[in-house]
Chain A
Amino acid sequence: MTDACIRRARPLLGTLVEISAHGSDEDAVRLAVDEAFRMVEAVQRLMSYHDPESDVSRINREAARQPVAVASHTWRVLDAAQSIARASDGLFDITVAPTLVAFGFLPQHADFPRASGQGDWRHVELLAERRVRLARRLCLDLGGIAKGYAVDRAIGVLQSHGMRAARVNAGGDLRVFGAPMQTVHIRRPGAPTELMPLVELGEGAAATSADYYTARRRSGRWVTPLIDPRTGVSCPRGRSVTVFAPDCMTADALTKVVHADPQRAIGILPKFSARALMLHDDDDLDVCKLYTLADAGRPWQTHWLAENARHV
């Protein structure tokens, strides 16, 4: 059996998106990879907070006044976001955008109505015929979930084109299928260029959220885009969370749940057949701690304390 493999990367979704696919014929693989990139572009156009023409911007501009109809892709992401918000009692919440704007992680749009500061995910109403209404003056950001969805859809395109095996990695949110077990390397939060082989993945998704590329000082304190929606405060620094789930959208969103409350995440992740691991670098002790949530119903396991992995 002949094997054609193509591996490409393009700047999309604010990061580098890498697609790799195996098939029997080079032209077919190239076409599939091109189509998969096109799908990622389509998701970006619909769900970007920055793009004034996106569904998200249309919701933010108008949906507090009147229901806004959205594309089916956007609808599926909103629906999943609301399910995860419900299951986690608001530890995941797509209405944290005003906090992200205040922290400087999202731009201020002059034509969005000023958010009232009242209300949360429960005031995002998904109506018939894919229409969205905001029962308060809210501002939505799908940045915590849409990248995972884009990965899932790209994988879907590759599968429908008959690829034997493939993987899509959108800057750390990745999904694989068809290959033998592959090692997933996770970046060490205290030294992100150190890649640690912690998991073997054969089928499914992994998504990591951490603050090592984004944390910044603001008015004398550290802020990160990982927000606890209940308090509007950034989650503790120096922690990296990776969630494994059958699909990447779920994995992506659940990383925020674990960041906001690792203890409550123990009961929430099994509802989505998800597993997780956390890395925490302790600068004082110069150790990296690994915690895993590998079995449903069991608490976090501390596996080892890694010494001397840091390069001086």
Chain B
Amino acid sequence: MRIVFVATAAVLAPVAAFAVDYLSAEQAFKLMFPDADHFEPREFPLNAAQMQELEAQGVRARSVHWTVSVAQRAGAPLGYVVVDNVIGKSELITYAVGIGLDGAIKQVEVLSYRESHGQEIRLPAWRRQFVGKTAASSLHSGDDIANISGATLSCSHVTEGVKRIVAVVALARRSGGLP
């Protein structure tokens, strides 16, 4: 073990906000379905009956607007990818879920993690500034504070989000909204 304690008053300059971009949505799509030659975005608005159907499965639908990208090769579907955001106490996590044609989860990747000490995490305007940003330009943005040790941050909201996406994709396929 090589370790040095930096226990001087000079270090007392806490960082109070940071962000890491891991992957752009496009990179995640390619990673999950490397054989795909096209990703076709499909809008899938949930109607009231469908919202109720999800609730009956114990899934909080949260939004009526869902975009499911269909991974295709030569026009034939290979699977689906959905990108979503969840907000925690002080963090905004963007993640992508890849789902196979069998409806099973293929892969979950975190696209970005943003943390802030203030309340701006709850402000739509603050979150909007990141929408449409690709990670490629700033892949190393968080490298100056790469190692954070702290109490375990629960990611139960991501887990719930993944379940919700699986349920929405299943519903979309049942209702003929997806190939």
A-side residues, CB < 8 A to B, are 5, 7-11, 14-16, 18, 20, 147, 167, 169-174, 176, 181-188, 191-214, 240, 242, 244-246, 273, 275, 277, 290, 292, 294, 301, 303-304, 306, 309, 311
Given the complex, which residues of B lie within 8 Å of A5, measured CB to CB?
140
Identify A195's interface contact among B14, B89, B152, B159, CB under 8 A. Answer: B14
Contact A204 B3 (CB under 8 A): yes
A157 CA to B32 CA, complexed, in Å = 21
Contact B16 A195 (CB under 8 A): yes
A292 CA to B11 CA, complexed, in Å = 15
Identify A198's interface contact among B11, B90, B109, CB under 8 A. Answer: B11
Tell me, yes or no, whether B150 is within 8 Å of chain A by CB: yes
Given the complex, which residues of A lie within 8 Å of B74, measured CB to CB?
none
A20 CA to B155 CA, complexed, in Å = 19
A294 CA to B108 CA, complexed, in Å = 39
A130 CA to B118 CA, complexed, in Å = 50
Identify B109's interface contact among A8, A246, A275, A290, CB under 8 A. Answer: A8
Contact B109 A292 (CB under 8 A): no
Contact with A along B131-159 (1 / 0, CB 8 A): 00000000110000111111111111011
Contact B12 A304 (CB under 8 A): yes
Contact B149 A185 (CB under 8 A): yes
A44 CA to B26 CA, complexed, in Å = 29
Contact B153 A213 (CB under 8 A): yes
Contact with A along B85-118 (1 / 0, CB 8 A): 0000110010100000000000011100101111
Tell me, yes or no, whether B169 is within 8 Å of chain A by CB: no
Identify the closest chain A residue to B139 (Cβ): A7
Show 28 residue pairs from A and B whose CB-CB distance is below 8 angstroms, ordered by the A residue. A7-B20, A9-B109, A10-B109, A10-B110, A11-B155, A15-B152, A15-B154, A16-B93, A147-B152, A172-B152, A173-B149, A174-B149, A176-B147, A184-B148, A185-B147, A187-B148, A199-B5, A199-B6, A200-B4, A200-B6, A213-B154, A214-B154, A240-B151, A242-B149, A245-B1, A275-B3, A292-B5, A304-B12
A306 CA to B13 CA, complexed, in Å = 10
A118 CA to B126 CA, complexed, in Å = 53
Identify A311's interface contact among B9, B95, B117, B146, CB under 8 A. Answer: B117
Contact A311 B153 (CB under 8 A): no
Given contacts A169-B148, A185-B148, 9 further A-B contacts (CB under 8 A): A11-B155, A194-B117, A199-B4, A199-B5, A199-B6, A200-B3, A203-B1, A214-B154, A306-B12
